[in-house]
């Protein structure tokens, strides 16, 4: 998909050509005259010159359109200097001039005649509720005991001026914690959709850097680029894997979505496989694929398949989510209509915008988490902010009506304790920030972070056992497997993780620990991959990283040691 625009600097450069420069002996003015001559040369061919004919064997150029995922048509080679004029700089297309251009754009272009940007498309958080009969309401309302909702999980939301903190408890144990700062369109941009401009294409890395308006360019890998195979021609006529330089070109405008927030010095990660998530379905624009969550039973999948045949939109794909279980066809149809309407608004905005531009913004973290997670397993959602409570309550009442009574407001003025202290969140949170985690039998986990990976060391510690060494080690490692799965989810640890279990001699015991660990990770919705324990007792695994972990969200780098964990002795370094 392309949306290429000619820069506005070219007509101004052509206008400079008609003005005769004033004769002077000042060297600076002579240099300025020469620079103006270069810009005139780069602005385009002189009037009256016939355009160059297309090269033989090249297909006829097509006009790029928004929503078209095919690669950009080949462009004829430009004269030397024409590339420089498009950037508005006389320098040689290097990173230095590009950086200056980006800084000017992000900091504002001054008092020019820049048109007012169109409003960004926002996720729909309220709609007219669908009427449900009492049977449907009762079947999806969840269990109650003595008039009180019963469920495995509880969500507590604490709001401050600086951030919103979300804690999820299983029973009384903290299993998930998220920190969401006010949306700044810079750091919290996961799920946002942009009209981006390709800056650089690196064939050797199969990577493209895309300007989406953030301080750091976002990264688009070859596997995340969408294209039409019919538009890719190989030399021998076979369907070869296209190279990224055949799919993307600098200054090309593309529609893309953020799949990973920027972390540290790394920019955001992008994909062209755009999707819009609703409560019950996920819309995949310009696709023909359809699917149903594998977590649903076969009988429910059969029912949803018949509904999907009736509500699927023309030209778009749909994925039925787990939340669609026991949901009526009217609710699913309403969800599809909301998403199709959002996509139509995004497409219209993309056609009238110039890259880089934000087209669609995901809702705030509390609403997004409730959209993704809230079900009858939650006994409640407690919020200590009146405004956020009203927003969440309105969303749940209109879209998830059977669970509307499970959203509560926690009045801090009437309650004796703050929300997090009332449910022992603060105490557990402090322990989650420590590198050492104690196990029930006296063993421990030591969790250490490095730039490359996270290392977890399992120790027996005070666990001396009662029988043989092998049985003691096995019991300790099984406890470690359960606790480590909880810690990975609570601390939101991503990337490569290496676990050093206590050595086990029997291969059957190593297989038992591996199975126990994989079963414990089944409740974690973040994608993981676990390898078998090696002969050295090491387990390698990966966990998808989508943003900052718990430690990064709640801490800063130490100013004394710069994050190294130690300080040099000044008297020995003199």
Q: In which element (H, E) is residue 8 found?
A: none
Q: What is residue 94's predicted lDDT score, i.e. its pLDDT?
A: 41
The percentage of the chain sitting over the pLDDT mark of 70, rounded to a whole number, equals 76
Q: Is 381 helix (H, G, I), strand (E, B) or coil?
A: strand
**What's the pLDDT tens digit per position in 186-207?**
878 999 999 999 999 999 999 9
Q: What is residue 354's predicted lDDT score, i.e. its pLDDT?
A: 93
Angle 273-245-105 (CA atoms, 0-180°, nearest 5)? 75
Pick 376 or 33 by higher pLDDT. Answer: 376
User: How many domains is the chain built from?
Assistant: 5
Judged against a pLDDT cut of 90, whether residue 319 lies above it is answered with yes
CATH of the domain at 323: 3.30.230
Mean pLDDT of the chain: 80
Choose among 62, 175, 78: nearest CA to 521. Answer: 175
User: What are the helix and strand counts (H, E) for the chain?
Assistant: 16, 24
**What's the pLDDT tens digit per position in 471-516?**
999 999 999 999 999 999 999 999 999 999 999 999 999 999 999 9
In a domain, 259, yes or no: yes
Q: What is residue 462's predicted lDDT score, i.e. its pLDDT?
A: 83
Q: What is residue 570's predicted lDDT score, i.e. its pLDDT?
A: 78
Q: What is residue 234's predicted lDDT score, i.e. its pLDDT?
A: 53
**What's the pLDDT tens digit per position in 41-83?**
444 444 444 444 444 444 444 444 444 444 545 544 444 444 4
| Tokens representing residue 108 in the block | 């504002």
Angle 417-423-428 (CA atoms, 0-180°, nearest 5)? 115
3-state secondary structure 519-542: HHHHHCCCCEEECCCCCCCEEEEE
Question: 462 and 549 share a domain?
Answer: yes
Q: Which band of pLDDT confidence, cut at 50, 70 and 90, is reported for residue 537?
A: confident
Question: 221 and 325 share a domain?
Answer: no
In a domain, 57, yes or no: no
CATH of the domain at 168: 3.30.420
Residue 420's domain comprises: 134-183+364-425
Q: What is residue 393's predicted lDDT score, i.e. its pLDDT?
A: 93
Question: 515 and 541 share a domain?
Answer: yes
Q: What is residue 134's predicted lDDT score, i.e. its pLDDT?
A: 74
DSSP state of 307: H
Q: Which band of pLDDT confidence, cut at 50, 70 and 90, is reported for residue 136?
A: confident
**Cβ-based neighbour number of residue 323 at 10 Å:** 20
The percentage of the chain sitting over the pLDDT mark of 90, rounded to a whole number, equals 53
Q: What is residue 564's predicted lDDT score, i.e. its pLDDT?
A: 76
Least confident residue range of 105-119, 374-388, 465-479? 105-119
Q: What sign for the dihedral angle of Cα 450, 451, 454, 455? A: negative
CATH of the domain at 516: 3.40.630
């Amino acid at each position: 998909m392309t949306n290429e625009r000619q820069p506005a600097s070219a007509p101004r450069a052509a206008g400079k050509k008609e003005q005769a420069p004033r004769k002077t002996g000042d060297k600076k003015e002579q240099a300025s005259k020469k620079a103006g001559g270069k810009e005139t040369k780069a602005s385009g061919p002189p009037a009256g010159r016939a355009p160059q004919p297309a090269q033989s064997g090249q297909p006829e150029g097509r006009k790029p359109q928004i929503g078209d995922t095919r690669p950009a048509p080949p462009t004829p080679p430009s004269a030397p200097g024409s590339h420089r004029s498009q950037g508005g700089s006389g320098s040689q297309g290097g990173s230095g001039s590009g950086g200056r251009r980006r800084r000017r754009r992000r900091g504002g272009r001054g008092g020019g005649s820049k048109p007012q940007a169109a409003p960004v498309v926002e996720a729909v958080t309220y709609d007219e509720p669908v009427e449900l009969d009492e049977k449907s309401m009762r079947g999806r309302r969840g269990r109650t005991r003595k008039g009180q909702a019963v469920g495995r999980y509880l969500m507590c939301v604490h709001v401050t001026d600086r951030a919103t903190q979300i804690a999820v408890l299983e029973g009384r144990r903290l299993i998930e914690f998220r920190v969401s700062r006010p949306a700044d369109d810079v750091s919290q941009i996961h799920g946002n959709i942009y009209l981006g401009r390709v800056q650089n294409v690196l064939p050797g890395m199969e990577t493209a850097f895309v300007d989406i308006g953030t301080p750091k360019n976002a990264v688009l890998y070859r596997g995340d680029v969408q294209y039409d195979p019919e538009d890719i021609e190989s030399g021998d006529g076979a369907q070869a894997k296209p190279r990224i330089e055949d799919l993307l070109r600098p200054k090309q405008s593309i529609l893309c979505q953020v799949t990973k927030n920027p972390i540290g010095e790394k920019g955001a990660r992008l994909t062209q496989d755009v999707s819009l998530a609703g409560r019950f379905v996920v819309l995949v624009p310009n696709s023909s694929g359809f699917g149903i969550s594998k977590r649903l039973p076969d009988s429910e999948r059969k029912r949803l398949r018949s509904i999907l045949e009736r509500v699927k939109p023309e030209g778009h794909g749909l994925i039925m989510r787990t939340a669609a279980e026991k949901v009526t066809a009217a609710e699913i149809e309403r969800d599809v209509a909301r998403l199709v309407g959002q996509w139509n608004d995004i497409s219209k905005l993309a056609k009238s915008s110039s890259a880089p531009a934000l087209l669609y913004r995901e809702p705030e973290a509390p609403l997004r988490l409730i959209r993704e997670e809230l079900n009858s397993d939650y006994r409640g959602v407690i919020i200590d902010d009146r405004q956020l409570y009203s927003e969440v309550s309105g969303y749940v009442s209109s879209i998830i009506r059977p669970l509307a009574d499970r959203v509560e407001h926690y009045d801090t003025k009437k309650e004796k304790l703050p929300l997090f202290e009332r449910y022992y969140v603060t105490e557990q949170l402090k322990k989650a920030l420590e590198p050492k985690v104690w196990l029930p039998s006296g063993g421990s986990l030591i969790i250490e972070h490095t730039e490359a990976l996270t290392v977890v060391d399992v120790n027996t510690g005070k666990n001396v056992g009662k029988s043989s060494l092998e049985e003691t080690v096995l019991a300790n490692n099984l406890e470690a497997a359960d606790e480590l799965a909880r810690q990975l989810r609570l601390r939101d640890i991503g990337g490569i993780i290496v676990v050093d279990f206590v050595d086990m001699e029997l291969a059957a015991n190593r297989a038992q620990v591996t199975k126990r660990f994989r079963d414990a990770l089944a409740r974690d919705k973040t994608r993981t991959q676990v390898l078998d324990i090696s002969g050295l007792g090491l387990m390698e695994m990966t966990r998808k990283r989508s943003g900052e972990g718990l430690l990064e969200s709640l801490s800063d780098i130490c100013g004394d040691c710069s994050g190294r964990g130690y300080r040099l002795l000044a008297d020995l370094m003199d």
